[in-house]
Amino acid sequence: MTTVEQVQDVATAAASGASATEHFRKDKSPFEAVKDTPPERVSTLINDVLAGVHATIRKHKVTYDEYNALKAWLINVGEDGEWPLFLDVWVEHVVEEVNTAHRQGNKGSIEGPYYVPNAPELGSKGTLPMRPDEKGDRLVWNGQVRSIDGSPLAGAKVELWHADADGYYSQFAPGIPEWNLRGTFITDDQGNFEITTIRPAPYMIPTDGSCGKMIAAAGWHPWRPAHLHLKVSAPGHEMLTVQLYFPGDPHNDDDVASAVKPELVLDPKEDGQGGHTISYDFVLDPEN
């Protein structure tokens, strides 16, 4: 079996970035979704972005050396395949905020670069696929999916994925089974589900690539607090994409991705057997 040390030797930022880029290209159709966007809106968005860049250059009197360093860095981000990482860590939280401001149900959060669709279906009660010796404390989660009027949503889909206790995601790091810690649950006739998994650990985003060089140059830190990723959906309702966090994590207040919200922090209870239980429900907004 691959050891953690071996995984760390080969789980480079470039490999992770290339994998994230490949998954994005395979799973998304971004240009199709905006093919009818009027040229006037495209022009407005481009001009406003450029105006922000121009204002920064003028305000801080950017030198040619700094400008050329930026060009070299932008080229390296592409070569490392780290555009999904960069955009999801430093930009997506604002896109999510703007697009979900109208919702009356649960607050959402960013998707991040490590989602993979079509994870195995495990019914309304089950255990995420994991290795026999999977590290991490046992976590049992009971919840319900409802509409904003309080009615339970039977047959709702709860997709869950998260990093392992070493901070690695299956399909984005070597030596991990394909669907490790990834699964899809379908709520019962009362909208209920029960999931058994392990508690993930905080982790650093990849630091040996271009994003890591930017972090180091700026004197920032690369840490994300421990979190669970979810997509929750039901017919006739808006999909909820969310991350849930754990109390007491030292990086809840300074998450590098700026994605933590107070409403998304869980309240684990000790189960008396070295693990924890959690209760957290989802309320979805009807589609307009």
CB of 105 closer than 8 Å to CB of 240: yes
CATH of the domain at 152: 2.60.130.10
- Specify whether the CB–CB gap between 136 and 199 falls below 8 A: yes
Asked whether the predicted pLDDT for residue 15 surpasses 90, the reply is no
pLDDT confidence tier of residue 138, bands split at 50, 70 and 90: very high
pLDDT digits (tens, 9 = 90+) for 56-99: 999 999 999 999 999 999 999 999 889 988 999 999 999 999 99
Q: How confident is the model at residue 26 (pLDDT cuts 50, 70, 90)?
A: confident
Q: What is the pLDDT of residue 29?
A: 73
User: Is pLDDT at 22 greater than 80 in this prediction?
Assistant: no
The percent of residues in the chain predicted with pLDDT above 70, rounded, is: 93
d(CA 154, CA 145): 8
Mean predicted confidence (pLDDT) in 156-167:
96
DSSP state of 134: -
pLDDT at residue 1 tops 50: no
Q: What is the DSSP string of 144-206?
A: EEEETTS-B-TT-EEEEE---TTS--TTTSTTS-TTTTEEEEE--TTSEEEEEEE----EEPP
Q: What is the mean pLDDT of residues 159-170?
A: 94
Residue 6 has pLDDT above 60, yes or no: no
Whether 11 has a pLDDT exceeding 70, the answer reads no
Tell me the one-letter amino acid at 258: S
Range with lowest mean pLDDT among 27-31, 147-151, 179-183: 27-31
Number of structural domains the chain divides into? 1
Can you tell me the mean pLDDT for 121-147?
97
Q: Is 110 helix (H, G, I), strand (E, B) or coil?
A: coil
For helices 83-90 and 210-218, give the axis angle rounded to 10 degrees: 40
Q: What is the mean pLDDT of the chain?
A: 91
- The reported pLDDT for the residue numbered 81 is 87
Tally the C-alpha atoms within 13 A of residue 32's C-alpha that lie toward its C-beta: 4
Mean pLDDT of 17-40: 79
Q: Which domain holds residue 145?
A: 1-288
Q: Is pLDDT at 35 greater than 90 in this prediction? A: no
Residue 195 pairs in a beta bridge with: 126, 141
